[in-house]
Amino acid sequence: MTLRALKQIIPALDTSDGAGVRIKRSIGQRQTVRMDPFLMLDEFGSEQPQDYIAGFPSHPHRGFETVTYMIEGHMLHEDHLGNQGNLRNGGVQWMTAGRGIVHSEMPQQESGVMRGFQLWLNLPAAEKMKPAGYRDIQPEDIPVFTHAGATVKLIAGTLTVSGTEVTGAVTRSSTQPIYADIHVEPNAQVSLPVPEALNAMLYLYEGNTNLVTGDERTALSLSAANVLADGDEIMLEGGDAGARLLLIAGRPIGEPVVQYGPFVMNTREEIEQALRDYQSGRLTA
Ligand code: MN
């Protein structure tokens, strides 16, 4: 086993999106800052309604998937297929835009804390134009296991821990995403396998933890994409207050990426086609 070291730190930048929702963006803050197959990671977290109340009114997507993980709060998704999904504490919405979806994502609360993440996962060329799909995943349908002082909630992918294979709520054969929310107990040391073929990062959102490689301990940066080097295992050591972090890994697609706002394709011509299709109402046809 080879422990993965820290390769690059991408601190999240404050920005706003939708109708003025305040977010912290790490991956995707610029089009050159990505980790194939992931395009973007936004962290939203506020107790101030003015930071989230405007939500994300009706807008299109084509060519990739969005994964929204709500830690705290209540958001309503509605799309052109007639899907309506209530995203609540601990739930996940997995939306496959494919050839096209038009949806809205609106807060259903006027006060209190809204906290969570939205991750954009690219699709390979062969899947970009497949029919749109949508899944509302309830918290109780997300596998959770404990291992060596850590609690791991496995939203996507497969992890083999102590000889037992655990499969998350979603699997994808092309990009093989692993998406886990890991809570590390204070001072606990936990190792998890992350296959060599996958690009991987850790996003620390609470507390502190070290990444252990041999004799070295490197503190992970808070609210940052801590991108990992090659290897097939990660080892974490929780700080005095423990830590909460996301493990995000996936198989790189290795194709050209051309993005224009909510459309992510392989060529400029395909982006122009997406714009024409959207303008003429054929994005979702
Ligand atoms: Mn959206």
Backbone φ and ψ for 48, nearest 5 degrees, come out as -95, 110
CA of 58 to the centre of ligand 1 (A): 8
**Per-residue pLDDT at 285 exceeds 80:** no
What is the rounded distance in angstroms from the CA atom of residue 92 to the CA atom of residue 89?
Answer: 9
User: Average pLDDT of 26-30?
Assistant: 95
Q: Which of 115, 78, 33, 104 is nearest to 262 (CA)?
A: 104
CA of 105 to the centre of ligand 1 (A): 7
The CATH class of 12-140 is: mainly beta
CA of 282 to the centre of ligand 1 (A): 18
CA of 97 to the centre of ligand 1 (A): 9
CA of 247 to the centre of ligand 1 (A): 22
Question: Which residues sit in the known binding site for Fe cation?
Answer: 59, 61, 103, 105
Q: Which of 57, 70, 52 is nearest to 112 (CA)?
A: 52
Q: Which of 173, 190, 174, 170 is nearest to 182 (CA)?
A: 190
H or E element that contains 274:
helix 268-279
CA of 8 to the centre of ligand 1 (A): 28
Sign of CA dihedral 77, 102, 118, 141: positive
Domain boundaries, the chain: 12-140
Is residue 71 a contact partner of residue 57, using CB atoms and an 8 Å limit?
no
Which DSSP string do the residues of 148-167 spell out, in sequence order? TTEEEEEEESEEEETTEEEE
**Per-residue pLDDT at 264 exceeds 90:** yes
Residue 128 binned pLDDT confidence (cut-offs 50, 70, 90)? very high
**Per-residue pLDDT at 215 exceeds 90:** no
DSSP state of 185: P
**pLDDT of res. 226:** 98
CA of 104 to the centre of ligand 1 (A): 7
90: CB partners within 8 A, 6+ apart? 70, 71, 139, 142
Question: 59-88 b/e with 16+ CB inside 10 Å = b?
Answer: bbbbbbbbbbbbbebbbebebeeebebebe
Q: Which amino acid is at 233?
A: E
Pick 46 or 27 by higher pLDDT: 27
Residue 176 binned pLDDT confidence (cut-offs 50, 70, 90)? very high
Q: Which amino acid is at 254?
A: G
CA of 182 to the centre of ligand 1 (A): 25
CA of 244 to the centre of ligand 1 (A): 25
Tell me how crowded residue 98 is: count the other CB atoms within 10 A of its CB.
Answer: 20
Residue 5 binned pLDDT confidence (cut-offs 50, 70, 90)? very high
**pLDDT of res. 284:** 87
Q: Specify burial of residue 285 (Cβ count, 10 A radius: 0-12, 13-18, 19+).
A: exposed
CA of 157 to the centre of ligand 1 (A): 22
H or E element that contains 271:
helix 268-279
Question: Which residues sit in the known binding site?
Answer: 59, 61, 103, 105
What is the rounded distance in angstroms from the CA atom of residue 238 to the CA atom of residue 30?
Answer: 31
What is the rounded distance in angstroms from the CA atom of residue 65 to the CA atom of residue 103?
Answer: 13
CA 81 to chain centre: 23
CA of 56 to the centre of ligand 1 (A): 7
CA of 243 to the centre of ligand 1 (A): 29
